[in-house]
């Protein structure tokens, strides 16, 4: 049997997953790592812990694979996107913590460039000016980390999204590369030309020599030596695009929604980017051979992270999975709205200055009700994104494929189906993201063709709408009112 290993470097954990040549998940190793919140709105990760947790899980999976009769033929990489690492090329040492996609420290800078450059940036990158993307975070490092500008002057500074950081470490500093899908999230990359754009580098003050080489999503990224095995790295792709691929949304008009730390809905728009007028992003899906596939994306910054906040911040849950039973035990929440805008609002609102709120509290509001309203907020955010997506693409989806940690919550999936008035289709393989990276690596080594993969996806459960229209309407009205109240909160 031939195996492929995917490294899935997410916002809250590093995972390695072993897939067999039927695309079945054989073994998963996972390690959580520390989140740093040094100041209000700042979110950082330790780049060394990212590598150590990822390598521990990789070694665990390799140990397991050695007990099986077979050979690991390729490694695929998928990762939290936009998060930026800066390191010294000559020593390989990171010079600052990774600045995470959720970090809003560059909001003010982004506001200052939005008016003059917003149109240019949208036209060439498909993105809306926001602190979410990597460009302003890299600029912050150059402006604020003492050694950064000296290293840049000496041509000894490297920037990279997490895929680049992993590839650099896995290849012992031989390869400084990224793929088109990750590059398309930096705000420095022209998605039509598929190259770094000098005009954008000038706006952010980023020297071109600090940036990685941009490669295909299925490609030869070099090889890594782990536990005595030399394994070729054959794919790199941002995690949301990987999930679209792993859900077998290979053709125009197919979409998926992932419920992880954030929520990300992506629609395959075919071989050309579709510009959005409704607050969505045009982004590169993947590139295989000479063919690029584009996607429209609605990014919601806080989804599963709101459940983590219930667990770790408010301490009203011991475990995220408890939220389902608790929500089912709750009383009426038709007037209770939680808006988890902890890091501003993403699609379709794009308000870096919005903040979270709980509205409609009464004397009988308790932990069950707050949990239920928080889960409902995930689905209501997704509803807003789907409305925008339908408007921009003119595609009315027949059903929505879902995945990610919080998609295991049946209460949430049922409520999602209710507020979208659409079937929600959850697959057997819960690791769509990792599967997407494995598919792309498998294509590169000739294990599969796209045609082999078309029918590989199997549904585990389909949720159909049950709630009465007027109940949905009432909830949506309250939600819209709450969104208006939280906008532009921070002065
Ligand atoms: N049963 C559940 N109900 C609601 N949320 C959940 C559940 N299980 C996991 N989560 C949430 O899902 C997220 C983890 O999902 P995952 O896809 O691993 O995220 P990421 O890739 O962003 O690290 C966490 O934020 C967690 O709070
Ligand atoms: O780590 P995840 O799965 O929450 O994904 C993060 C996204 O890639 C951010 O854009």
Render 108-155 in DSSP notation, one character per residue.
Answer: HHHHHHHHHHHHHHHHHH-----TTSHHHHHHHHHHHSHHHHHHHHTT
Ligand 1 centroid – CA 356 distance (Å): 19
Residue nearest atom 9 in ligand 2 by C-alpha distance = 81
Ligand 2 centroid – CA 163 distance (Å): 12
- DSSP H helical ranges for 394-453: 410-420, 432-444, 450-453
Which are the contacts of 117, defined by CB distance < 8 A and separation ≥ 6? 129, 203
82 labeled part of a ligand binding site? yes
Ligand 2 centroid – CA 395 distance (Å): 25
Q: pTM, whole model, 2 decimals?
A: 0.92
> Which ligand does the CA of 372 lie closest to?
1
- Which atom of ligand 1 has the smallest separation from the CA of 308? 27
Residue nearest atom 4 in ligand 2 by C-alpha distance = 261
Across all residues in the chain, what is the average pLDDT?
95
CB distance 323 to ligand 1 below 6 Å: yes
Residue 440 has φ and ψ, to the nearest 5°, of: -65, -40
The string of pLDDT tens digits covering residues 182-225 is 999 999 999 999 999 999 999 999 999 999 999 999 999 999 99
The string of pLDDT tens digits covering residues 452-484 is 998 888 899 999 999 999 999 999 999 999 999
The string of pLDDT tens digits covering residues 32-41 is 999 999 998 8
CB distance 405 to ligand 1 below 6 Å: yes
The string of pLDDT tens digits covering residues 333-362 is 999 999 999 988 988 998 988 999 999 999
Across 129-150, average pLDDT: 96
Ligand 2 centroid – CA 300 distance (Å): 10
**Mutation test residue for ligand 1: of 310, 406, 429, 430, the one with most atoms within 8 Å of CB:** 406
Residue nearest atom 6 in ligand 1 by C-alpha distance = 406
Q: How confident is the model at residue 68 (pLDDT cuts 50, 70, 90)?
A: very high
- Report percent pLDDT > 90 for the chain: 89
- Which atom of ligand 2 has the smallest separation from the CA of 82? 10
390 labeled part of a ligand binding site? no
Ligand 2, pocket residues at CB < 6 Å: 10-11, 80-82, 101, 238-240, 260-262
> Which ligand does the CA of 304 lie closest to?
1
Ligand 1 centroid – CA 229 distance (Å): 32
Residue 478 has φ and ψ, to the nearest 5°, of: -65, -40
The string of pLDDT tens digits covering residues 225-276 is 998 899 999 999 999 999 999 999 999 999 999 999 899 999 999 999 999 9
């Amino acid at each position: 049997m031939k195996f492929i290993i995917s490294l899935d470097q997410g916002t809250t954990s590093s995972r390695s997953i072993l897939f067999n040549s039927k695309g079945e998940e054989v073994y998963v190793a996972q390690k959580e790592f520390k989140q740093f919140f040094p100041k209000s709105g700042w979110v950082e990760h330790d780049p060394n812990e990212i590598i150590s947790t990822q390598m521990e899980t990789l070694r665990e999976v390799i140990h397991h694979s050695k007990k099986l009769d077979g050979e690991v033929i390729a490694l695929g990489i998928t990762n939290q996107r936009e998060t930026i690492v800066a390191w010294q090329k000559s020593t390989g040492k990171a010079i600052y913590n990774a600045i995470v996609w959720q970090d809003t420290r560059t909001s003010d800078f982004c506001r200052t460039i939005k008016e003059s450059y917003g149109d240019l940036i949208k036209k060439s990158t498909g993105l809306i000016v926001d602190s979410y993307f990597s460009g302003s975070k890299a600029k912050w490092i150059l402006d604020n980390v003492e050694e950064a500008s000296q290293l840049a002057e000496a041509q000894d500074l490297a920037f990279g999204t997490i895929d680049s950081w992993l590839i650099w470490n896995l290849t012992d500093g031989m390869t400084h590369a990224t793929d088109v899908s990750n590059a398309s999230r930096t705000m420095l990359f022209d998605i039509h030309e598929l190259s770094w754009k000098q005009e954008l580098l000038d706006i952010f003050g980023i020297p071109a020599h600090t940036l990685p080489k941009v490669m295909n999503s299925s490609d030869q990224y070099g090889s890594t030596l782990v536990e005595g095995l030399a394994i070729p790295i054959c794919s790199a792709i941002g995690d949301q695009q990987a999930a679209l691929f792993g859900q077998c949304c290979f053709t125009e008009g197919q979409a998926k929604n992932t419920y992880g730390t954030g929520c990300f809905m992506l629609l395959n728009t075919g071989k050309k980017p579709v510009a959005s007028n409704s607050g969505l992003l045009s982004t590169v899906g993947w590139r295989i051979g000479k063919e690029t596939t584009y996607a429209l994306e609605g990014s919601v910054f806080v989804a599963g992270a709101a459940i983590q906040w219930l667990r770790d911040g408010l301490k009203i849950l011991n475990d995220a999975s408890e939220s389902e039973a608790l929500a089912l035990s709750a009383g009426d929440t038709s007037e209770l709205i939680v808006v988890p805008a902890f890091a501003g609002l993403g699609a379709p609102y794009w308000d870096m200055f919005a903040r979270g709120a709980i509205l409609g509290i009464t004397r009988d509001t308790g932990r069950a009700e707050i949990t239920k309203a928080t889960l409902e907020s995930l689905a209501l955010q997704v509803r807003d994104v789907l409305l925008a997506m339908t408007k921009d693409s003119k595609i009315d989806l027949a059903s929505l494929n879902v995945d990610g940690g919080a998609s295991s919550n049946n209460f949430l999936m049922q409520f999602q189906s209710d507020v979208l008035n659409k079937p929600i289709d959850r697959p057997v393989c819960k690791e769509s993201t990792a599967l997407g990276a494995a598919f792309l690596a498998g294509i590169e080594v000739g294990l599969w063709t796209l045609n082999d993969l078309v029918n590989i996806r199997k549904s585990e459960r389909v949720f159909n709408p049950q709630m009465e229209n007027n109940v949905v309407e009432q909830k949506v009205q309250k939600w819209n009112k709450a969104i208006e109240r939280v906008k532009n909160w921070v002065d």
